[in-house]
Amino acid sequence: MIFRAIIALMLLPALPAMAELPVVDIPPGHTKTFLVIHPHHDDHSWVSGQAGLVTKLVDAGWTGYYVRVSNDEKDGPHGYPHDDMVNLFEAREATENLGIKDVISLNWRNDYMDPTPHNEIRAQLILLIRKYRPDLVTSYHPWGHYDRNPDHRKVAKAIGEGVWLAGFANVHPEHRKLGLKPHRVPYKFYSQRFDYGKGYEPNVVVELSESNIRRKARSFWVHRNVRLRGSTGRRMRQLLKDQGLAIPELDGLTDIEAHARMQEWSMYDAARKVGGEHGIEYGEIYAYLGEWHPWPGLRDHIDSNAVDK
């Protein structure tokens, strides 16, 4: 265990401690459909990804779709268009491992999204929201600060507005020609790198089981094109050897398999650290926006007075 902790410390970014947050369960489902919307192939399953929540929803019988906004051409060692294709295939494998039904790729050019009109990305998201009518959307935090990845900022902003505007019939009225009615997304779970400092304020923690983490950890390294390097596995083992240490669990594994195992441990340790800070074993933290978020003056009244039909 101590060796695993050393490896985890080497792989993890420095995660600051925070005050204990309330543990929330997944919200009541009506359509029991959810969308995971991200700029990239691998955003769902890393330290700040939402794969734990995804597996929890899938286990509860929900249907999920992954919307990949960029083409990921910059991510990987092969150059484009080779990386575009590899990353898409791996996104399908990784999201299938989580139980997601389908990947919809919008294919905007990776890291060249600033000239892409905000309203155009938003329009595509509104169309998909009206098509799938999700009860829940999870993504990066539209108001998160200090995210240095331009695609993260751009896509999160489009989502933050799209989930609300999709509810108005006069927004893209042409969708009615396809029989697509307005649909406001009632529940939003936003997350972001929380080691970027002031600006991102999570307000809930979602409790995860070992099974949730196992699937998240696997989906992390299934993105082999960007997550696995035999050279890293070899270097790590050499580093341990130089100090007279060894990790028995890595015995008999190839260098690349060893790296995959270490990557899994990093996911377990990240979730365990978050859980430990909030009184549970494993967790993911979120900025959660509930059903009546758009009307802060009416939330209490509706919650107290709404009754079953």
Partner 1 sequence: MTPSLHRIAAALLLAGLFLVYGSPAQADDDKVVLVITADASDYVLAAGGTIAKILDDGVTGYLVRVTNDDKDSWELTPEETARRTREESEKAAKILGFKEVESLGYRAGELGGVSPTELRDRILFYVRLYKPNVMFIPNPYAEYVEVLDRFYVGQAAEDARRAASLSNYQPPFAVVGLETHVTPELYYYAQPFDPRRREPESTATFVPQPKIVDIASTFGKKLAAAQALKTINHSMAMRIKDRLETTGRRLPLLDEVDEVSVSKLVEINVRKLAEIAAQDTEHAQAEEFHYAGVEYQIPTKYLQ
Q: Which of 82, 235, 241, 301 binds partner 1 (CB under 8 A)?
A: 301
Q: Which of 49, 186, 233, 283 binds partner 1 (CB under 8 A)?
A: 186
The three-class DSSP label of residue 55 is helix
Decide: is 85 part of the binding site for partner 1 (CB under 8 A).
Answer: no
Q: Which of 20, 25, 102, 201 binds partner 1 (CB under 8 A)?
A: 201
Q: Which of residues 108-167 bind partner 1 (CB under 8 A)?
A: 117-119, 122, 143, 157, 160-161, 163-165, 167
In whole angstroms, the minimum distance from the beta carbon of 204 to partner 1 comes to 12
Whether the CB-CB separation of 182 and 229 falls below 8 Å is answered with: no
In whole angstroms, the minimum distance from the beta carbon of 225 to partner 1 comes to 33
Burial of 243 (0-12, 13-18, 19+ CB in 10 A): exposed
Order of strands across the sheet that contains 187-191:
23-24, 204-208, 282-289, 187-191, 136-140, 33-38, 63-70, 102-108
165 vs 271 by CB, closer to partner 1: 165
C-alpha Rg value of the chain to the nearest Å: 20
In whole angstroms, the minimum distance from the beta carbon of 30 to partner 1 comes to 5
In whole angstroms, the minimum distance from the beta carbon of 99 to partner 1 comes to 24
139: which strand partners? 190
Query: CA separation (Å) from 225 to 10, 92, 195, 309?
Result: 21, 13, 25, 52
204 vs 208 by CB, closer to partner 1: 204
Rounded (10°) CA dihedral 275, 280, 283, 285: -80
List of residues contacting partner 1 (CB under 8 A): 28, 30, 117-119, 122, 143, 157, 160-161, 163-165, 167-171, 173, 184, 186, 201, 203, 287, 289, 291-298, 300-302, 305-309
